[in-house]
Homo-oligomer: A and B are copies of this chain.
Amino acid sequence: RRARPVREVLFFPSRPCCIEALLAEAAEPGAPARPCPCPLPSGDTALSRLVRRLLSARRSLDLCLFCFSCPQLARTVQILHRRGVRVRVVTDAQYMGLHGSQIGLLRHAGIQVRHDQHSGYMHHKFAIVDRRMLITGSLNWTTQAIQSNRENVLVVEDAEYVKAFQDEFERIWEEYNPANYSFFSQKQ
């Protein structure tokens, strides 16, 4: 029997929390738990819910993110990549090189990343899990946004919305194919 489609709204800032146990279990399922020495409580927070949704990926994770500097979310993505999930990342050229960006690290790990070549921003902040679940909102994947800003994230398992965003992702993925880069004109 098909489970009820996910419909969730997450608001940030997230309460401070430790997600080490969550990441450790995802990286090595069944391994003996090693308690984290940090003083933060674990528990159910906006961040831990977001991470759980991402970790539910089995086949693909498509990310379209203006800023990606949160180390915990970068570890989440790397765990999925190591598990064999096909991860693709689209990001903004101006922001990917800033201090703290996790984009270089993801590329080093072998994850495909493409970026724009425009003066306008690639300002989306969405993720698509297994071409089935859309995660979208105002949240850039930065520690500042997660811990300090008022932000929203919708989690929607709805074929119509997912298709609209998946199509947008594929359009951008193709448009930002390095084979299409031009160093003379700005395509719009």
Contact = CB atoms under 8 A, between A and B. Distances in A.
A141 interface: no
A120 B9 contact: no
Contact of A161 (B7, B126, B144, B168): B7
Given A124-B151, A138-B125, A152-B124, A9 B119 contact: no
A56 to B, nearest CB: 20
A95 interface: no
A122 interface: yes
Interface in A101-129: 116, 118-126
Interface residues of A, number: 35
A149 interface: yes
A109 to B, nearest CB: 25
Interface of A: 7, 9, 11, 13, 66, 116, 118-126, 136-139, 144-145, 147-152, 154, 160-161, 164-165, 168, 172, 188
A7 B165 CA distance: 13
A160 B120 contact: no
A119 B144 CA distance: 10
A24 to B, nearest CB: 29
A147 B119 CA distance: 11
A161 B9 contact: yes
A125 to B, nearest CB: 5
A13 B119 CA distance: 12
